[in-house]
Amino acid sequence: MTPPIPATLIPGDGIGPEIVDATLAALDALEAPFEWDRKIAGLGGVTASGDPLPAETLDSIRRTRLALKGPLETPSGGGYRSSNVRLREEFQLYANLRPARTIIPGGRFDKIDLMIVRENLEGLYIGHEHYVRIDDDPHAVGMATGINTRQGCRRICEYAFDTAVATGRKKVTLVHKANIMKVLTGLFLETGLQLYEEKYKGQFELDSIIVDACAMKLVLNPWQFDMLVTTNLFGDILSDLVAGLVGGLGMAPGANIGTDAAIFEAVHGSAPDIAGKGIANPIALMLAAALMLDHVKLQDKATRLRTAIDQTLNLDKVRTGDLGGTANTMAFTKALVSRIRGA
């Protein structure tokens, strides 16, 4: 019997609690051994303690080093920073993993199986921005500073290359803009190419591509790519583009991996307009839970969960409204649980 695995559970805002409950039902059917410590964040955290990330939520993640979270809403106004960015910084979650796989065949793009690995802490997202006043215009000039470090570039490339070897990826592509940002992204490209020559040559094919050409080729012929590795801003953009190839953010799980903690999430928003209506699609968070199962070395349960999702959608034809079906969240979850249990 697998010993209990402590994990922090953050239901989040909007549709978060609904899709979390659906995901917990699937994990219970799999007999996944997570021992949940339920905590609040986002708007719920502001209401309860005046902070989107209350201290006891952060303490829980420090203790468990593992979390599953629903979407968090960053309150507008009040100077609140993105809770997701704060979590990445707090726990040094340097790698963002975004797989994109076709689940419902027959669309414009079929048989997609891509992985994007994004550096999560550096680049233009470090937030060093300021205005320069000229005459009576306080916002006459806007300036931003991006920072990439050799250590950060090597760390993300090493994580990506190790993941490629472990998961049998045949080709890894470094995505950059070193033709223009010769220093900022040139350092990333240089580091990735050097690392490959030092440790990984022959274990997979490595190539590189400029980010704008990559975006075009992803739309024209995404099958030429296998794994993309890139810096923070480019990874943010391309991972959403790739999600669009497989049905949108409702099918897009995400993992944020650090040395001492890992947080798994649905990457879509909190969708307050449909919160409480029971019609949300829980697949993105369920796929994030599958990544979480992979992370704790329960790959058999992860495979069972992904297979059950495939079968529920394609054999049973049970789909939520955003996927062209008529099922509500509860009906989809019930059908999925039946598949997991082999009923």
What tens-digit pLDDT sequence spans the chain (343 residues)?
A: 778 999 999 999 999 999 999 999 999 999 999 999 999 998 888 888 888 899 999 999 999 999 999 999 876 655 667 788 889 999 999 999 999 999 998 878 889 999 999 999 999 888 788 999 999 999 999 999 999 999 999 999 999 999 999 999 999 999 999 999 999 999 999 999 999 999 999 999 999 999 999 999 999 999 999 999 999 999 999 999 999 999 898 899 999 999 999 999 999 989 889 999 999 999 999 999 999 999 999 999 999 999 999 999 999 999 999 999 999 999 999 999 999 998 5
Contact 87, 256 (CB under 8 A): yes
Distance CA 56, CA 37 (A): 11
Q: What are the boundaries of each domain within the chain?
A: 1-91+260-343, 102-241
The encoded tokens of residue 162 equal 């190790």
- By three-state DSSP, how is residue 275 classified? coil
In the residue annotation, 177 being an active-site residue is answered as: yes
Pick the catalytic residue from 13, 69, 80, 177: 177
- Predicted local confidence at residue 335, as pLDDT: 97
Give the model confidence (pLDDT) of 17-42 as tens digits.
Answer: 999 999 999 999 999 999 999 999 98
In this prediction, residue 343 carries a pLDDT of 54
CB atoms within 10 A of CB 101: 16
What gap in Å lies between CA 77 and CA 146, rounded to an integer?
25
The answer to whether domain 1-91+260-343 and domain 102-241 are alike in fold is yes
Selected catalytic residue, list 125, 196, 200, 301: 125
Domain 1-91+260-343: assigned CATH number: 3.40.718.10
Active site annotation includes 125: yes
Which residue of the set 37, 236, 294, 301 is catalytic?
236
Q: Residue 293: what are its φ and ψ, rounded to 5°?
A: -65, -40
Q: Could you give the CA distance from residue 310 to residue 19 in angstroms, rounded to a whole number?
A: 18
Q: Determine whether 236 is an active site residue.
A: yes
Report how far Cα 307 is from the mean position of its chain's Cα atoms. 20
User: Per-residue pLDDT tens for 311-328?
Assistant: 999 999 999 999 999 999
List the one residue out of 282, 295, 215, 224 whose CA is nearest residue 253.
Answer: 282
Q: What is the pLDDT of residue 58?
A: 95
Active-site pick, 28, 59, 207, 212 = 212
Q: In this structure, what is the dihedral angle of CA atoms 251, 320, 270, 267, given to the nearest 10 degrees?
A: 0
CATH 3.40.1350.10 fits 102-241, yes or no: no
Q: Is 199 considered catalytic here?
A: no
210's enclosing H/E stretch is strand 205-210
At 301 the pLDDT is 96
Calculate the alpha carbon distances from 174 to 119, 171, 199, 205 in Å.
12, 10, 16, 11
